[in-house]
Every structure is written in structure tokens, then in C-alpha cells.
Amino acid sequence: MRPGNGGVPELAGAWDVSQAAATNPGAAPDLRAWAELLRLPALFTVPGDALAGAATVSAGPHSRTLLAIGSSLCLYEAGMALNDWADRDEDARDRPHRPLPSGRVRPSSALAAACALTAAGLALASRAGRPALTVAVPLAATVWAYDLALKHTPAGPVAMAAARGLDLLLGAAASTGRAREAVPSAALLATHTLAVTSVSRRETTGGAPLVPLAALATTGLLTHLLARCPRTDVHAPGTAPHRPPDTPSPGGPTPVRAPSPGARIAPPAVAARPRRPGAHARLAGAHPRAVAAHPRTSGAPRTVPRLPAPASDALRLAFALAYPATAARPYLHAALNPSPPLTQRAVGGGIRATIPLQAALTARAGGTPTALLVAALAPLARRFARKVSVT
């Protein structure tokens, strides 16, 4: 599940390693070859999808969010392995140093890994609940359809964008069971992915200045939306969200409406004796704290931890500006000189810019502490990208 077919030049010695593996097929599995096949540095762009989805529905990370992250990682790596298996003939012609054409990884092993990772991703999603599995199944289908059929068609970038958007919805569905509220954020992330994937289609040939220029314009538009249009349904700490009149607030008394003229007034009901907290739990044989702590039984969803409003706004703006700072310059260079090396760098910059975009979406939804966690993945991705290509 990666955009494009090209990649930045590998480290010195990669070709020597591949030739050594080809002349010694009985050698132990090459861990570096599998790291190149699965493009491990790109993994750091995955957890932010689920975390941003959870923050969008005003939920803090919890166990089901972690299951969604695990499912996303498995499905993402399944797409990576399946991509190289499907492109093995093309890579043998254009990039013979890749793990499959160089003989360091067998094609059957890559296909088996894609199947196993897909099954693991769906299993983790099922553990997160039926809403998460409902999103994970079309996500897995989109990944396989892109790699096997849609990649080289005009629908390829759209399929890749849909996969990223579904990945964010997976985090929302797993965290609260509600994914509809996360659709706007998923659309923004999908738009970014559409731009990156469109650029990646020319990374081995170059020669299309309008595509990186369009990606640059898309980056500017998304930056404007992130910096100028915070979500309006996120209320400040310590304040209640806006509700229409006569709407009961959580934990508060139900408002009483005046009876209409001529209406019959029912006799007052006898108030039941209040039961002590935890009594129902003791009757069921469960510990009161255990029942209150479980989100499905307590009825009180875990909310996103928030910072004071000034600090939250400042960090949201910082993340929104970090996004174009990562992607804009490589796009501009590729537009001015659409050669394969510069186009590959533009693709790499677009992939790395996914992390600050995820952090900005998370902060935009009010989950600033979670956004800091997402942003902390960026230096790790940059460090590992120096050893293994992300494209």
C-alpha cells in the first residue's frame, strides 16, 4: 500500500548484497531485504491515522485504538509485500536491486507474507469490535485491488486515497463505534494521499511538471484549511457544548416543559429508592470499579486529554505549518525540474509530510497531547529513512 513504483537510490553496497544473496540461495533470510520489501520507515506514517481518527470523535487512545493501530500496520505492510510481488517483472527491468528481482526474497514468500498480514489485520480489527471490522474489510479489499488491478489505471490514485481515508475511519470506528464524524478529517488526509500518489506515477520516468505543481497547490489548500478552519464541534475545556433548548445535558436533570392548554396531566410517578453506586455490580458478581471502568458498561466514553486553549491553538498552527514545510520544497523542485531523482524526492517528502498532517488533524480535533505523540514519530521516520528507502 505504497504510492508509485520508483524509489530513492539505495545505500552503497545494496547491489553487492543482492548479488551475494543471489549466488547463495541457501543463506539465512536477509533481514535488510525484508526491511526494504516492507519499507519499514514508512510504518511511522501509519499510527497517526488511527490516533487522528480517535481524536476526531473526541476519544482518547485506549485498548481498542491500539488494536486499530495494529490492524492498520498489518494491512499497510500487506500492501507493501503485495505491491512488490505484483511489480516483480517491472522491477526486474527498472529496479533490479529490489529484494524480489535481486533474489534476496522469493516471490512466493512475499505473497505468503501479504496473505498472512492481511489475515492478522482483519483479526485485530475484529477484536476491536464490529464497527472496526466493518471498516477494515473494505480497507483490505482496497489495498488488494490497488496492487493487483488499479495501480496503473486512472483509478489508482483514487484507490490509494480511499485506503488512507478508510484507515483514519478505522481508528474512529474502533475507538467509539462512530466513524461518520471523522469523514471530514479522512477527506483531508485522502486528498493529500491523492496528490502524493499522482506524483509517484512518474517517479521512474519524470517529465510531468504539472503534477507536482498541482500537488504543491493541494498542499497550500490543505494548509489553509488546517490553519484557518478549526473544528467547531470541539468545545473548550471546562465548558459544555452547545445544545438546543430542552436538551438534557449528560448527568444533569431533564428539563420540564410547560403543559399545553387542555392537556391531561398524568399523576406523578412514585420515585424509586436510589440504589447505592455499585449495587448492580455486586448483584451481578462483578467488582463495581471493573464495571465503571469498562467503556461499554459505564456509558462514559474516555475523552481526549486537552491542553489550555492558547497552547492548543499554538501547537495546532505549528503542526499545520510543519506540513507544507516538509512537502512544499520537494514538490517545487520536481515542478521546476521533473527528473526521476527529484520526482522521487518529492514522493518521499510527501510521504514524510503525512505525519505532521496527521498531527495537525489531531490537534484540530482538540487532542493536542495525542498530536504531540504523533509528531514525535517524524524524527524516527527520518532517521530510519536514511538506511532504508520509503518508496
Q: What is the pLDDT along the chain (391 residues), one digit of tens a residue?
A: 555 444 433 333 333 444 444 444 444 458 889 999 999 888 999 999 999 999 999 888 899 999 999 999 999 999 999 999 999 998 898 889 999 999 999 999 999 999 999 999 999 999 999 999 999 999 999 999 999 999 999 999 999 999 999 999 999 999 999 999 999 999 999 999 999 999 998 887 777 899 999 999 999 999 999 988 555 444 433 334 444 444 444 444 544 455 555 555 445 444 445 445 444 444 344 444 333 333 443 334 455 555 566 777 888 899 999 999 999 999 999 999 999 899 999 999 999 999 999 999 999 988 888 999 999 999 988 888 877 777 6
Cβ neighbour number for residue 205 with a 10 Å cutoff:
14
The three grid cell numbers given for residue 311, joined into one nine-digit string: 497552547
Instruction: Judge contact between 161 and 197, C-beta under 8 A.
Output: yes
At CB < 8 A and 24+ separation, what contacts does 382-387 make?
382/352, 384/40, 384/41, 384/44, 385/41, 385/348, 385/352, 387/11, 387/41
Q: Going by C-beta distance under 8 Å and a sequence separation of 6 or more, which residues neighbour residue 198?
A: 157, 211, 214, 215
Give the residue from 359, 378, 375 showing the smallest Cα distance to 55: 359
E strands, 123-206, in order: none
The three grid cell numbers given for residue 102, joined into one nine-digit string: 535481486
Instruction: Judge contact between 326 and 356, C-beta under 8 A.
Output: yes
